[in-house]
Amino acid sequence: MSASEKPTDTPERLAFYEKIAKKSLKPLWAVMSNIITPEPTSDCIPHLWKFDEAKEYLLEAGGLITAKEAERRVLILENPGMPDSSKTTTSLYAGLQLVLPHEVAPAHRHSQSALRFVLDGSGAHTAVNGERTTMEYGDFVITPPHSWHDHGNHTDEPMIWLDGLDIPIVTAFDASFVESLGEDEQPINRQTGDSLARFGSNMLPVDYQQERLASPIFNYPYERSRGALETMKNQQEWDPCHGLKMRYVNPVDGGYAMPTIAPFLQLIPKGFKTAAYRSTDATVYVAVEGTGRTTIDGKVFEWGPKDIFVVPSWKWVSHEPDGEAVLFSFSDRVAQEKLGLWRQDRGNS
Ligand code: GTQ
């Protein structure tokens, strides 16, 4: 018998299983092949959400409930392979959040880490740890675990961003706590841009001691990240599987910007098709610039700016933009690496 085969259920065995089930006991050999699999198996399936369509529904939700009543007015990007799970991948959650003009999403804090990737509108803000940041297209913003955060929109246009949270990871550990501040907005005691100046200028405050696992940079502006890719692309050094792919880091320790979620930004040049690749970190992608198609497990998904798609663990993926394209993505790679679980397969590359 191989590791993936299950012993036959004889009548005597079944009777035994039933008898011991009453005592909360269960034979491993009857389930072993379901729980220790030769390679990853997942209910998570490849899927793409068209931004324009989701935006219409989000604006419709805006007429049904305020940000304040909802606390967070978000449409969860629920994986169709995992109905009623509030999951986008097995370990991560993603949603689209709308803050209408002159609304506030009240201050709270929770165990879960959050990232924002700004998709629509300009100039609304989020506040974390006494600092406010205004958000522009493509900005990557972090809310570390247990940090007070509230969102507001003092502009005249709706603002929509993608939320990425480690909700399923925190649930798996039964470690969820949430508190409300009791005020809509937290007190502001740092000027906008303070954390970026202090920690994102290739310097650190002398004697700075790491206080938490998440990066002390609060907003990684798209302008800077995109500008870096623009300079680097002239070198024409392409990874066959990724094009030009960078990870957002915590400048204090060089690790990923967040303790449980690994965020990335990549540029794929015109005329390039990435070589087939798979890894154990299921990944949520956002097309930031350009149009093209991604083949996931043999199925083709066409995307344009702001569309979001998900690649499950250990499924082959290949991107083929029409012209130059930029993709933002996030996965649980950082958590898997810490646990010694992460694996990749670069095919023939
Ligand atoms: O903005 O704090 O999509 O607490 C889900 C839970 C966003 C948030 C979500 C949240 C938030």
Q: What is the mean pLDDT of residues 140-164?
A: 98
**Which three-class secondary structure state does DSSP give residue 21?**
helix
Q: Measured between alpha carbons, how far is 251 from 272 in angstroms, rounded to an integer?
A: 31
pLDDT at 4: 62
Give the Å distance between the CA of 54 and the centre of ligand 1: 17
Q: How is 131-162 classified by DSSP, letter by letter?
A: EEEE--TT-EEEE-TT--EEEE--SSS-EEEE
Which token pair is 117?
């990737």
pLDDT score of 1 more than 60:
no
pLDDT score of 137 more than 70:
yes
pLDDT score of 216 more than 60:
yes
Q: Measured between alpha carbons, how far is 282 from 341 in angstroms, rounded to an integer?
A: 13
228 exposed, middle or buried (CB, 10 Å; 0-12, 13-18, 19+)?
Answer: middle
Q: CB-based contacts of 193: which residues, under 8 Å, 6+ apart?
A: 133
Host H or E run for residue 110: strand 104-110
Give the Å distance between the CA of 118 and the centre of ligand 1: 14
190 contacts 131 by C-beta, under 8 angstroms:
yes
Residue 269's pLDDT band (boundaries 50, 70, 90)?
A: very high
The model's pLDDT over 53-110, given as tens digits with 9 standing for 90+, comes to 999 999 999 999 999 999 999 999 999 999 999 999 999 999 999 999 999 999 999 9
Other CB atoms within 10 A of residue 198 CB = 16
For the chain, the distance separating the N- and C-terminal CA atoms, rounded to the nearest angstrom, is 35
78 contacts 85 by C-beta, under 8 angstroms:
yes
Nearest protein Cα to ligand 1, atom 11: 72
Which ligand 1 atom is nearest residue 76's CA? 3
Which ligand 1 atom is nearest residue 126's CA? 1
67 contacts 29 by C-beta, under 8 angstroms:
no
> Residues enclosing ligand 1, CB less than 6 A?
72, 74, 95, 97, 110, 114, 149, 163, 165
Mean pLDDT taken over the chain: 97
Give the Å distance between the CA of 341 and the centre of ligand 1: 28
Which token pair is 156?
């005249």
pLDDT score of 52 more than 80:
yes
pLDDT at 6: 87
Give the Å distance between the CA of 346 and the centre of ligand 1: 34
pLDDT at 5: 78
Q: What angle do CA 245, 261, 181 make, to 5 degrees?
A: 135
Give the Å distance between the CA of 30 and the centre of ligand 1: 40
The model's pLDDT over 176-204, given as tens digits with 9 standing for 90+, comes to 999 999 999 999 999 999 999 999 999 99
**Which three-class secondary structure state does DSSP give residue 182?**
coil
Give the Å distance between the CA of 119 and the centre of ligand 1: 16
Which ligand 1 atom is nearest residue 112's CA? 4
Q: Measured between alpha carbons, how far is 183 from 190 in angstroms, rounded to an integer?
A: 18
CATH number listed for the domain at residues 47-345: 2.60.120.10
Which ligand 1 atom is nearest residue 94's CA? 3
Confidence (pTM): 0.97
Q: CB-based contacts of 160: which residues, under 8 Å, 6+ apart?
A: 55, 58, 96, 97, 98, 119, 120, 121
Which ligand 1 atom is nearest residue 143's CA? 2
Q: Out of 165, 185, 186, 261, give the residue to mutate to test ligand 1, the one with the largest number of ligand atoms within 8 Å of its CB.
A: 165
336: left (phi over 0), alpha (psi -120 to 50) or beta: alpha
Give the Å distance between the CA of 185 and the centre of ligand 1: 15
pLDDT score of 309 more than 60:
yes
Which token pair is 138?
């493509």
